[in-house]
């Protein structure tokens, strides 16, 4: 069994912490999020659903980092990679949709920056890990 590199573990924990932050914010502080970005508070359940998904991803990122064996976490990493790409695409497209609030652009750009950085690092560590196994 191939152990996950230290850098990959750090990436998983940092990405997990970011996911937990957003997940808790969107799940439990939904009205604060809506007020900040200027959206009408009409469908809080969709944001809470995304927040709950982020909480789970954050927890599983940390669990994957602690498992330490590549073969045990590889499938999860592939799933997380697909989810990150889907979210990056949505965050790029969303500002062009009608009714997108101007303040939401700052949140979208922040999300794009986080997602892009995590994806680039994930690709790097994933390819390095595959070479080792």
User: Residue 1 falls within a domain, yes or no?
Assistant: no
Question: Domain tally for the chain?
Answer: 1
Q: Residue 64: inside a domain, yes or no?
A: yes
Alpha carbons 31 and 113: distance in angstroms, whole number: 24
**Residues making up the chain, counted from first to last:** 133
Return the axis-axis angle of helices 102-132 and 30-37, rounded to nearest 10°: 120
**Residue 35 has what pLDDT?**
79
Alpha helices in 1-133 (DSSP H): 6-28, 30-37, 44-67, 70-93, 102-132
37-47 confidence digits (pLDDT tens): 777 767 778 88
pLDDT (0 to 100) of residue 41: 66
17 part of a folded domain: yes
- pLDDT by residue (tens digit) across 102-131? 878 888 899 999 999 999 999 999 999 999
Give the structural domain span for 107. 6-132
């Amino acid at each position: 069994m191939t152990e996950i590199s230290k850098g990959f573990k750090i990436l998983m924990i940092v990405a997990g912490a970011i996911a937990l932050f957003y997940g808790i914010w969107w799940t439990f502080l939904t009205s604060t999020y809506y007020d900040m970005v200027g959206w009408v508070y009409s469908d809080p359940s969709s944001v809470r659903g995304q927040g709950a998904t982020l909480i789970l991803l954050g927890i599983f990122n940390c669990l994957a980092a602690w498992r330490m064996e590549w073969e045990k976490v590889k499938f999860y990493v592939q799933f997380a990679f697909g989810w990150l790409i889907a979210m990056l695409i949505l965050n790029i497209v969303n500002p062009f949709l009608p009714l997108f609030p101007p303040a939401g652009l700052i949140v979208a750009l922040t999300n794009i920056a986080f997602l892009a950085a995590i994806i680039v690092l994930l690709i790097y560590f994933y390819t390095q890990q595959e070479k080792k196994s």
